[in-house]
Amino acid sequence: MNVRVILADDHALMREGLRALIEREPGITVVGEATNGAEAVALVSRLGPHLVIMDVAMPCLNGIEATRKILHDHPHTRVVALSGHDNKEFVREMLAAGASAYVLKERAFEELSRAVREAMRGRKYLSPEIARGVVDDYVELSGSFGENPAFIVLTAREREVLQQLAEGRSTKEMAAALGVSVKTIETHRRNIMQKLDLHSVAELTKYAIREGVASLDT
């Protein structure tokens, strides 16, 4: 079986390195590249890959939300999360979204091909640092959530709006990107602030970064 892969990462050099790494492996072919989560979702629908290598922190739509969307519509697609972070929230939410593996970028050279093959066998794979330091927190969910965890309190669309707010996009830019009216974006923003009891964009930005909805790297 030839495994068809899509690469999703907002850094061109990273995608080039991943492509070179993946395509030296027999039976694995890169069929497309995405620069953000929204592009990854669209490419999966168009190309029907077996697997997506998904950067967690990307603009427009982060890897967590993109994974949720992809696996909702294409449940047989596998997702391997690739990240520079061992952030507990990132790991927890990527696994909860349905990712089959979580590999740290610094270990991609040693681990990525193995993670891909394990995912295609229906198995889970975690970088050793993740397995040692984070799995206990993932299992013991009751002790790891904040008072207002984004992935429970907010709807999927509200999380998209929150990410774009944290990335500094204007109301008009968000409305255009999400295909809704300015009034709808304003309603979402008001609802987000009410649910989280936050009262400024600065507070929302700090919250989004802490919860893994947005990243300083995007």
Q: What is the pLDDT of residue 147?
A: 54
Q: What is the pLDDT of residue 138?
A: 45
Residues 45 and 117 in one domain: yes
Read off the pTM.
Answer: 0.73
* Cα atoms found within 13 Å of the Cα of residue 207, Cβ hemisphere only: 26
pLDDT beyond 50 at 141: no
Q: What is the pLDDT of residue 140?
A: 53
**CB–CB of 176/184 below 8 Å?**
no
Q: Is residue 217 part of a domain?
A: no
Residues 129 and 168 in one domain: no
Backbone φ, ψ for residue 196 (5° rounding): -95, -10
pLDDT beyond 70 at 135: no
Q: What is the pLDDT of residue 131?
A: 76
Q: What is the pLDDT of residue 145?
A: 43
Mean pLDDT of the chain: 87
Place of tokens 């909860």: 96
Q: DSSP code of 199?
A: -
Q: Is residue 123 part of a domain?
A: yes
Of 89, 116, 141, the one marking the end of a domain is: 141
* Residues spanned by the domain of 91: 3-141
- In which order are the strands placed within the sheet that holds 78-83? 28-34, 3-8, 51-55, 78-83, 101-104, 125-126
At how many degrees (to 10) do helices 171-178 and 156-166 cross? 140
Assign 211 a pLDDT band (cuts: 50, 70, 90).
confident
Predicted confidence (pLDDT) per residue in 96-115, tens digit = 899 999 999 998 888 999 99
Q: What is the pLDDT of residue 82?
A: 94
pLDDT beyond 80 at 134: no
Beta strand extents in 13-164 (DSSP E only): 28-34, 51-55, 78-83, 101-104, 125-126
Mean pLDDT of 173-191: 93
* 38-42, 78-82, 155-159: least confident range: 155-159
Of 100, 120, 141, the one marking the end of a domain is: 141
Q: Which amino acid is at 32?
A: G
Q: What is the pLDDT of residue 176?
A: 92
Q: Is residue 56 part of a domain?
A: yes
Tokens of residue 82, six digits: 């690739």
Residues 29 and 107 in one domain: yes
Angle at 120 between CA 114 and CA 115, to 5 degrees: 20
Place of tokens 């929204």: 38
Q: What is the pLDDT of residue 144?
A: 42
Please report, to the nearest 10 degrees, the dihedral formed by the alpha carbons of residues 207, 40, 42, 28 taken in order: -160
pLDDT beyond 90 at 191: yes
Residues 132 and 171 in one domain: no
Predicted confidence (pLDDT) per residue in 88-97, tens digit = 778 888 988 9
